[in-house]
Structure 1
Amino acid sequence: MLSTITRPLQAATLLLLVSIACFPRLSLAASQGSVKVGSYNCPPFVIEHNDNTYTGLSILLWQKIAQELQLEYEISNHGLQDLLNDVANGNLNIGVSCVSITPEREEILDFSHSYYETHLAIAVKRQGYLASLKSLFTNTKLLVVLGFVFLAASIVGGIYYLLEHRLNDKLYSMRSKKAQMVEGFILGLLFITKGPFNYFEFKTLPGRILTVMLAIFTTFFIASITAVLASTFTLGLLNSDIKGPNDLANLSVGAKKASTSSEFLIHHSIVHQSFDDIETLLEALDNEDVEAIVADDAVLKYLIKKSKESGQYEDLTVLPYRFEKQNYGLIIENNSPHREKLNRALLKIRQSPEWKQALHEYFAE
């Protein structure tokens, strides 16, 4: 009698277990109810609109994950530090924004797999023509290059003077010795900057041999000097001697509060001002309250590009130096049992044509 009762019970239990295994998405949605999602405004990853709606890459990713896992959710806006704290304290289930995965944050939070890789970058304000001209003459690289050119011209001119000044009236036409030495320097300078002279313009055999050797050397030398000078003049129009993060030590610098940019500057002992959000950070740079700002490369380029389209921040530019790789991930409650399901959905969406199209739309030059 007992066995006849337990068999249907066992069958029902087995059927329930099979249904849960076959429909994990439904069980996840039922177990969590409405998922509490926190957001931090960070274009183009999270773009908050006046009607309290959200768009952006991170929002698109979360919407597709929620659709894949059949989750209902509510999104609320928070500051960056508040977002991190609220997920860590359990007040929020998920954090969606441009949040970098760091060891320090991993101590109190979980993260999804990385869904976007970027770097830190430096933005500056283009200088006016007078300031640019001044910076060129105070640019250390330019001064070193010019010094090397003059030194090489003096050596070459001196050698030619010793070899040719008694025999070559064409190249050394001045009567005084000082004037002939000046002619020798001019000859060396022309040789270094212009290239080889005619072989037969020199009377002595050593002079002609030196001409052939220098002809080979100056071909490469002139190309190298031209490239260095072009780079120096181009960067001179941007901001004096900033070649990377180490050059920020003697400048007034800004970064977003509680961001990886601020942590990087603190770690490298670079004194800086902190700003509540990226918009006030860009405004401070445009108003010349700071000389340079540090933020995520993708965010800086997107915001400056969009601002220029509307006639704002036309003199701001991102320098061509990227450093300190950043990996963005969704913030998850610590020890969340649903992390694996979320990550599987994330990886699936990252391979989709829709995600690749979204990347192109936001970041196409």
Structure 2
Amino acid sequence: MPRLPVKTPPALLSLLAVFLALASCLSALPARAQETGQSLTVATRVAPPFVMKDGDGTWSGLAIDMWREIAEQRGYEYTFVESDLAGLVDGVADGRYDASVGALTVTAAREEQVDFTHPFYATGFGIAVPKAPPAWLSLLRNFFTLQFLQAILALCALLLVVGLLFWLVERRHNAEEFAPGPRGLFAGFWFSAVTMTTVGYGDKAPRTAAGKAIALVWMFAAILIISTFTGMIASSLTSGRLTGAIGGPEDLAVASVGSIRASASDEWLSSEGIAFTGYPDIESGLAALREGRIEAFVYDEPLLRYRVRKDTTNTLRVLPGTFGRQDYAIATGPDSALREPVDISLLQIVEGSKWRNDLTRVLGKVK
């Protein structure tokens, strides 16, 4: 029996068309909302001079100003949300935030979770250390160490013993120069001292055979003693100046180092096998450095340089040069429609002279 064609009711066709149109609109909603209407949630974290937060909660800084310019160009509405370092990546990866803006370094581990825009600032790691005191002050301090004072006391005790021997054998036969009593004992001490130092004023001299024998032995022994003592002093002063001196990353392995946990510097130090003390932020790390609890603090060079420039105590410095590689970029969700338009605006900004001038004004010229 022939099958009769089934006619679809017009109302059902209309409903189906509306459904398809609605589905199409919903699928395109994220891209259109990010371009025009829906407010974006942008995570950030205080990291002067790229991100700063005023007392009234207003955000500012190099990265914040750059984002504001991007948002103005693209017509984005947005709200800043403060987060910790781990949250800048995890929050974007799980969809809590649409983007993260700040001094956020691109790493392989982070790239697996989120997408990054083109870098807007390339730098490396820096090392902050205490300022070295003036050479004359360092030398003066080394003269007053416990070890140096102990050596001086030991030498004086030896001179006193030798002087006592001179006095004992000379006091009866050479009373004019080595008189009985404390005066003669001091004369023996004086004679042993000038003999050891080869000054030999000639005001004292042994006259007995025993005294001359002691003097002869003491002359040769003094040559060895004074040479040894001079070497000890030179070694003490040199080691005192070099102890704790850090000139670059190659010295970190034998120094007490601080850094920030879960940061790019944490990854670098761990990969190099360098043990370090973790701090929650730069302020606490630099405070530990000033107080002598650590010898060096490793973190992003521009952030360290900015903080040290603003440090009113003037007791810290950042070593010249950088090591490692760091690229700051904006993080967006995987396959986010934000990345391409943000990339275009970001490149336009960093290629302009205003961005370069802002970097020089805030960070100063890199030495």
Name the TM-score, length of structure 2 as normaliser.
0.61
| Cα deviation 1:4-36 (Å, max 9, x = unaligned) | xxxxxxxxxxxxxxxxxxxxx9764336x0000
Tell me how far apart the structure 2 counterparts of residues 113 and 124 of structure 1 sit (CA, whole Å). 32
Q: Is the Cα contact below 8 Å between 2:36 and 2:75 reproduced in 1?
A: no
- What is residue 362 of structure 1 aligned with on the other side? 362
Q: How does 1:81-160 map to 2 (within 5 A)?
A: 81-129=86-134, 132-133=138-139
**Do the aligned partners of residues 126 and 64 (structure 1) sit closer, same or farther apart at CA in structure 2, a change above 3 Å counting?**
same
Answering whether residue 348 of structure 2 is matched by residue 348 of structure 1, we say yes
Tell me how far apart the structure 1 counterparts of residues 242 and 57 of structure 2 sit (CA, whole Å). 38
| Cα deviation 1:215-274 (Å, max 9, x = unaligned) | xxxxxxxxxxxxxxxxxx9xx989854232221111110001211111111111111011
Q: Is the Cα contact below 8 Å between 1:35 and 1:93 reproduced in 2?
A: yes
Q: Is the Cα contact below 8 Å between 1:125 and 1:238 reproduced in 2?
A: no
**Do the aligned partners of residues 321 and 70 (structure 1) sit closer, same or farther apart at CA in structure 2, a change above 3 Å counting?**
same
Answering whether residue 290 of structure 2 is matched by residue 286 of structure 1, we say yes
Q: How does 1:216-231 map to 2 (within 5 A)?
A: none
1:253 to 242, 257, 279: 257
**Do the aligned partners of residues 248 and 135 (structure 1) sit closer, same or farther apart at CA in structure 2, a change above 3 Å counting?**
farther
**Do the aligned partners of residues 63 and 305 (structure 1) sit closer, same or farther apart at CA in structure 2, a change above 3 Å counting?**
same
The DSSP-based 3-state class of the residue aligned with 2:274 is coil
**Do the aligned partners of residues 243 and 29 (structure 1) sit closer, same or farther apart at CA in structure 2, a change above 3 Å counting?**
same
The DSSP-based 3-state class of the residue aligned with 1:261 is helix
| Cα deviation 1:274-315 (Å, max 9, x = unaligned) | 1111111111111111110101111111111012xxx23x11
Paired residue type of 1:254: G
Q: Is the Cα contact below 8 Å between 1:47 and 1:55 reproduced in 2?
A: yes
Paired residue type of 2:342: L
Q: Is the Cα contact below 8 Å between 1:28 and 1:69 reproduced in 2?
A: no
- What is residue 267 of structure 1 aligned with on the other side? 271
The DSSP-based 3-state class of the residue aligned with 2:46 is coil
Q: Is the Cα contact below 8 Å between 1:135 and 1:240 reproduced in 2?
A: no
Tell me how far apart the structure 2 counterparts of residues 306 and 42 of structure 1 sit (CA, whole Å). 14
**Do the aligned partners of residues 296 and 136 (structure 1) sit closer, same or farther apart at CA in structure 2, a change above 3 Å counting?**
farther
Paired residue type of 1:333: G
- What is residue 35 of structure 2 aligned with on the other side? 29
**Do the aligned partners of residues 280 and 362 (structure 1) sit closer, same or farther apart at CA in structure 2, a change above 3 Å counting?**
same
Q: Is the Cα contact below 8 Å between 1:127 and 1:239 reproduced in 2?
A: no
* Cα shift at 1:334: 1.5
Give 5+ residue unaligned stretches, structure 2.
Answer: 1-30, 144-237
Q: Is the Cα contact below 8 Å between 2:244 and 2:255 reproduced in 1?
A: no
Tell me how far apart the structure 2 counterparts of residues 290 and 276 of structure 1 sit (CA, whole Å). 15
Q: Equivalent pairs: percent with the same residue?
A: 34
The DSSP-based 3-state class of the residue aligned with 2:320 is strand
The DSSP-based 3-state class of the residue aligned with 2:124 is strand
The DSSP-based 3-state class of the residue aligned with 2:123 is strand
Q: Is the Cα contact below 8 Å between 1:252 and 1:292 reproduced in 2?
A: yes
State which structure, 1 or 2, has the greater radius of gyration over its C-alpha atoms: 2
- What is residue 11 of structure 1 aligned with on the other side? none
Tell me the matched-pair count.
Answer: 241
Q: Is the Cα contact below 8 Å between 2:114 and 2:332 reproduced in 1?
A: yes
* Cα shift at 1:134: 8.9
**Do the aligned partners of residues 40 and 135 (structure 1) sit closer, same or farther apart at CA in structure 2, a change above 3 Å counting?**
farther
- What is residue 61 of structure 2 aligned with on the other side? 56
Tell me how far apart the structure 1 counterparts of residues 343 and 242 of structure 2 sit (CA, whole Å). 42
Name the TM-score, length of structure 1 as normaliser.
0.61
Tell me how far apart the structure 1 counterparts of residues 345 and 303 of structure 2 sit (CA, whole Å). 25
Tell me how far apart the structure 2 counterparts of residues 58 and 98 of structure 1 sit (CA, whole Å). 7
Tell me how far apart the structure 2 counterparts of residues 48 and 27 of structure 1 sit (CA, whole Å). 28
Paired residue type of 1:120: F
- What is residue 28 of structure 2 aligned with on the other side? none
Tell me how far apart the structure 1 counterparts of residues 111 and 141 of structure 2 sit (CA, whole Å). 44
- What is residue 335 of structure 1 aligned with on the other side? 335
**Do the aligned partners of residues 338 and 363 (structure 1) sit closer, same or farther apart at CA in structure 2, a change above 3 Å counting?**
same
* Cα shift at 1:337: 2.1
- What is residue 71 of structure 2 aligned with on the other side? 66
Tell me how far apart the structure 1 counterparts of residues 346 and 131 of structure 2 sit (CA, whole Å). 40
The DSSP-based 3-state class of the residue aligned with 1:320 is coil
Tell me how far apart the structure 1 counterparts of residues 348 and 321 of structure 2 sit (CA, whole Å). 32
